[in-house]
Amino acid sequence: MKEIWNIIGDKEGHIYVCGDARNMAREVKEIIIETIMTEGSKTRPEAEAYLKRMESQRRYSADVWS
């Protein structure tokens, strides 16, 4: 989780998710939220808002299908 936070938090990196919308994409999103909470010391609402900001900045993108 520290490596993920280093990329998305410290270095303002990008994440691209491609794959199954039903399970994989949802699980990846949950892991990212948990990482933001744990490593970024944020509450769940703060972590969800952080991820939404990443989406609006096009730093989090998903190409998913069912």
CATH of the domain at 49: 3.40.50.80
Q: How far apart are CA 26 and CA 23, in angstroms?
A: 5
pLDDT tier at 66, thresholds 50, 70, 90: confident
**What is d(CA 30, CA 26) in angstroms, rounded to the nearest whole number?**
6
Confidence (pLDDT) at 54: 98
Q: How confident is the model at residue 9 (pLDDT cuts 50, 70, 90)?
A: very high
Separation CA 51–CA 32 (nearest Å): 8
Task: Give the residue numbers spanning the domain of 21.
Answer: 2-65
pLDDT (average), residues 33-49: 98
**Is pLDDT at 35 greater than 90 in this prediction?**
yes
Domains contained in the chain, number: 1
Question: 32: how many CB neighbours lie within 10 A of its CB?
Answer: 21
Would you say 15 and 62 are in contact if contact means Cβ atoms under 8 Å apart?
no
For the whole model, what pTM was predicted? 0.90
